[in-house]
Amino acid sequence: MSIADAYVFTPAVHEDDRGAFLEWYRADRMSEVMGHDLRLAQANYSVSRRGVVRGVHFADVPPGQAKYVTCVSGAVLDVIVDIRQGSPTFGRVETVELDDRTRRGVYLAEGLGHAFMVLSEQATVVYMCSEPYAPGHEHGVDPMDPEIGIPWPRDIEPLLSPKDAAAPTLSQALEKGLLPRYDDCQAYYAALRAGGAAHAG
Protein backbone atom coordinates (compact mmCIF):
# COMPACT_ATOMS: atom_id res chain seq x y z
CA MET A 1 0.00 0.00 0.00
CA SER A 2 1.12 3.63 -0.16
CA ILE A 3 1.65 3.45 3.61
CA ALA A 4 4.86 1.54 4.29
CA ASP A 5 4.43 -1.66 6.34
CA ALA A 6 0.80 -2.17 5.26
CA TYR A 7 -0.14 -4.78 2.65
CA VAL A 8 -3.21 -6.13 0.84
CA PHE A 9 -3.39 -9.83 0.01
CA THR A 10 -5.82 -11.04 -2.67
CA PRO A 11 -6.05 -14.84 -2.64
CA ALA A 12 -6.88 -17.12 -5.53
CA VAL A 13 -10.43 -18.37 -4.90
CA HIS A 14 -11.14 -21.79 -6.42
CA GLU A 15 -14.87 -22.18 -7.03
CA ASP A 16 -16.94 -25.08 -8.34
CA ASP A 17 -20.43 -26.49 -7.86
CA ARG A 18 -19.57 -27.49 -4.29
CA GLY A 19 -18.56 -23.99 -3.18
CA ALA A 20 -15.16 -22.35 -2.84
CA PHE A 21 -11.70 -22.96 -1.44
CA LEU A 22 -8.87 -20.52 -0.75
CA GLU A 23 -5.74 -20.05 1.30
CA TRP A 24 -6.55 -16.93 3.31
CA TYR A 25 -3.22 -16.89 5.14
CA ARG A 26 0.23 -18.19 4.12
CA ALA A 27 3.02 -17.78 6.68
CA ASP A 28 5.76 -18.31 4.10
CA ARG A 29 4.46 -15.59 1.78
CA MET A 30 3.96 -13.17 4.67
CA SER A 31 7.53 -13.78 5.81
CA GLU A 32 8.85 -13.15 2.30
CA VAL A 33 7.12 -9.78 2.18
CA MET A 34 7.80 -8.62 5.73
CA GLY A 35 11.21 -10.16 6.25
CA HIS A 36 10.13 -11.89 9.45
CA ASP A 37 7.50 -14.31 10.73
CA LEU A 38 4.18 -13.01 12.00
CA ARG A 39 3.91 -14.04 15.61
CA LEU A 40 0.35 -15.20 16.33
CA ALA A 41 -0.59 -14.44 19.91
CA GLN A 42 -4.32 -13.77 19.68
CA ALA A 43 -7.19 -14.22 17.20
CA ASN A 44 -10.23 -11.92 17.34
CA TYR A 45 -13.70 -12.52 15.94
CA SER A 46 -16.02 -9.53 15.53
CA VAL A 47 -19.68 -9.56 14.46
CA SER A 48 -21.17 -6.13 13.76
CA ARG A 49 -24.25 -4.66 12.11
CA ARG A 50 -24.39 -2.12 9.28
CA GLY A 51 -22.80 1.20 10.11
CA VAL A 52 -20.74 0.00 13.06
CA VAL A 53 -17.32 1.66 13.15
CA ARG A 54 -14.56 0.07 15.20
CA GLY A 55 -11.36 2.08 15.65
CA VAL A 56 -9.10 3.87 15.01
CA HIS A 57 -7.15 1.57 17.36
CA PHE A 58 -3.43 1.13 18.01
CA ALA A 59 -1.04 -0.04 20.72
CA ASP A 60 2.19 1.24 22.25
CA VAL A 61 5.37 0.27 20.41
CA PRO A 62 7.18 -1.75 21.55
CA PRO A 63 5.66 -4.24 21.32
CA GLY A 64 2.63 -2.85 19.52
CA GLN A 65 0.19 -5.18 17.81
CA ALA A 66 0.47 -6.19 14.16
CA LYS A 67 -2.79 -7.43 12.62
CA TYR A 68 -3.83 -9.60 9.70
CA VAL A 69 -7.49 -8.85 8.96
CA THR A 70 -10.13 -10.40 6.71
CA CYS A 71 -13.92 -10.34 6.43
CA VAL A 72 -15.42 -13.84 6.34
CA SER A 73 -19.05 -12.74 6.03
CA GLY A 74 -20.52 -9.55 4.61
CA ALA A 75 -18.47 -6.50 3.68
CA VAL A 76 -16.51 -3.79 5.47
CA LEU A 77 -14.50 -0.74 4.54
CA ASP A 78 -11.15 -1.42 6.16
CA VAL A 79 -9.00 1.57 7.07
CA ILE A 80 -5.30 1.96 7.84
CA VAL A 81 -4.03 5.28 9.21
CA ASP A 82 -0.34 6.11 9.53
CA ILE A 83 -0.22 7.58 13.04
CA ARG A 84 3.52 7.03 13.53
CA GLN A 85 4.98 10.35 14.63
CA GLY A 86 7.79 11.30 12.25
CA SER A 87 6.68 8.97 9.45
CA PRO A 88 7.04 10.30 5.88
CA THR A 89 3.36 9.42 5.40
CA PHE A 90 2.11 10.60 8.81
CA GLY A 91 -1.65 11.13 8.71
CA ARG A 92 -2.15 9.26 5.43
CA VAL A 93 -5.23 7.06 5.10
CA GLU A 94 -5.61 3.91 3.01
CA THR A 95 -8.91 2.10 2.55
CA VAL A 96 -9.77 -1.26 1.03
CA GLU A 97 -13.04 -3.15 0.90
CA LEU A 98 -12.87 -6.55 2.54
CA ASP A 99 -15.73 -8.91 1.77
CA ASP A 100 -16.83 -12.52 1.39
CA ARG A 101 -16.42 -12.42 -2.41
CA THR A 102 -12.85 -11.30 -3.07
CA ARG A 103 -11.68 -12.67 0.31
CA ARG A 104 -8.92 -10.05 0.49
CA GLY A 105 -6.85 -9.69 3.63
CA VAL A 106 -4.95 -6.73 5.05
CA TYR A 107 -1.75 -6.78 7.08
CA LEU A 108 -0.74 -3.76 9.12
CA ALA A 109 2.45 -3.56 11.12
CA GLU A 110 2.89 -2.44 14.70
CA GLY A 111 2.29 1.28 15.16
CA LEU A 112 -0.32 1.74 12.43
CA GLY A 113 -3.90 2.68 13.27
CA HIS A 114 -6.75 0.40 12.22
CA ALA A 115 -10.50 0.84 11.82
CA PHE A 116 -13.39 -0.49 9.78
CA MET A 117 -17.03 0.27 8.98
CA VAL A 118 -19.62 -2.40 8.18
CA LEU A 119 -21.13 -1.89 4.71
CA SER A 120 -23.47 -4.91 4.64
CA GLU A 121 -26.42 -5.62 6.93
CA GLN A 122 -24.04 -7.62 9.12
CA ALA A 123 -20.38 -8.56 8.83
CA THR A 124 -17.97 -10.90 10.56
CA VAL A 125 -14.35 -9.80 10.71
CA VAL A 126 -11.53 -12.00 11.97
CA TYR A 127 -8.05 -10.80 12.71
CA MET A 128 -4.91 -12.42 13.95
CA CYS A 129 -2.71 -10.36 16.26
CA SER A 130 1.00 -10.50 17.01
CA GLU A 131 0.47 -9.60 20.68
CA PRO A 132 -2.41 -10.19 23.12
CA TYR A 133 -4.66 -7.36 24.23
CA ALA A 134 -2.86 -5.26 26.84
CA PRO A 135 -5.07 -2.85 28.81
CA GLY A 136 -3.25 0.38 29.47
CA HIS A 137 -1.20 0.06 26.28
CA GLU A 138 -4.12 0.24 23.86
CA HIS A 139 -5.26 3.60 22.49
CA GLY A 140 -7.61 5.14 19.99
CA VAL A 141 -8.02 8.15 17.74
CA ASP A 142 -11.36 9.66 16.77
CA PRO A 143 -12.40 7.94 13.51
CA MET A 144 -14.49 11.00 12.62
CA ASP A 145 -11.59 13.44 13.05
CA PRO A 146 -11.80 15.79 10.02
CA GLU A 147 -8.02 16.25 10.14
CA ILE A 148 -7.60 12.56 9.31
CA GLY A 149 -10.45 12.71 6.81
CA ILE A 150 -11.34 9.05 6.51
CA PRO A 151 -13.69 8.77 3.50
CA TRP A 152 -16.55 6.99 5.24
CA PRO A 153 -19.58 6.25 3.03
CA ARG A 154 -21.99 9.18 3.24
CA ASP A 155 -25.09 7.01 2.88
CA ILE A 156 -24.40 5.00 6.06
CA GLU A 157 -24.96 6.40 9.54
CA PRO A 158 -21.87 5.59 11.64
CA LEU A 159 -22.36 3.80 14.96
CA LEU A 160 -19.49 4.14 17.42
CA SER A 161 -18.87 2.79 20.90
CA PRO A 162 -18.76 5.46 23.65
CA LYS A 163 -15.03 4.82 23.98
CA ASP A 164 -14.32 5.36 20.27
CA ALA A 165 -16.61 8.41 20.15
CA ALA A 166 -14.67 9.97 23.04
CA ALA A 167 -11.23 9.23 21.55
CA PRO A 168 -8.92 12.20 21.00
CA THR A 169 -8.30 13.73 17.61
CA LEU A 170 -4.99 13.01 15.90
CA SER A 171 -3.62 16.40 17.00
CA GLN A 172 -4.73 15.84 20.59
CA ALA A 173 -3.18 12.37 20.66
CA LEU A 174 0.05 13.85 19.31
CA GLU A 175 0.05 16.57 21.97
CA LYS A 176 -0.55 14.00 24.71
CA GLY A 177 2.35 11.86 23.53
CA LEU A 178 0.10 8.86 22.81
CA LEU A 179 1.23 8.18 19.25
CA PRO A 180 3.95 5.68 18.37
CA ARG A 181 7.21 7.15 17.10
CA TYR A 182 8.25 6.16 13.60
CA ASP A 183 11.87 5.60 14.62
CA ASP A 184 10.79 3.28 17.47
CA CYS A 185 8.61 1.31 15.04
CA GLN A 186 11.45 0.98 12.53
CA ALA A 187 13.80 -0.22 15.27
CA TYR A 188 11.20 -2.76 16.36
CA TYR A 189 10.69 -4.03 12.80
CA ALA A 190 14.47 -4.38 12.46
CA ALA A 191 14.57 -6.42 15.67
CA LEU A 192 11.85 -8.70 14.31
CA ARG A 193 13.77 -9.21 11.07
CA ALA A 194 16.90 -9.97 13.07
CA GLY A 195 15.03 -12.63 15.05
CA GLY A 196 14.76 -10.66 18.27
CA ALA A 197 10.97 -10.53 18.36
CA ALA A 198 10.70 -12.28 21.71
CA HIS A 199 12.95 -9.71 23.38
CA ALA A 200 12.29 -6.55 21.35
CA GLY A 201 9.68 -5.36 23.86
Which residues are the active-site residues?
Answer: 57, 127
- C-alpha neighbours within 13 Å on the C-beta side of residue 156: 20
Strand, helix or coil at 187? Answer: helix
Residue 112: which of 173, 29, 56 has the closest Cα? 56
Backbone φ/ψ region at 129: left (φ over 0), alpha (ψ -120 to 50), beta: beta
Dihedral sign of CA atoms 32, 36, 39, 44 in order: negative
Encode 42-78 in three state secondary structure: EEEEEEEECCEEEEEEEECCCCCCCEEEEEEECEEEE
Dist. CA 35–CA 45, nearest whole Å? 27
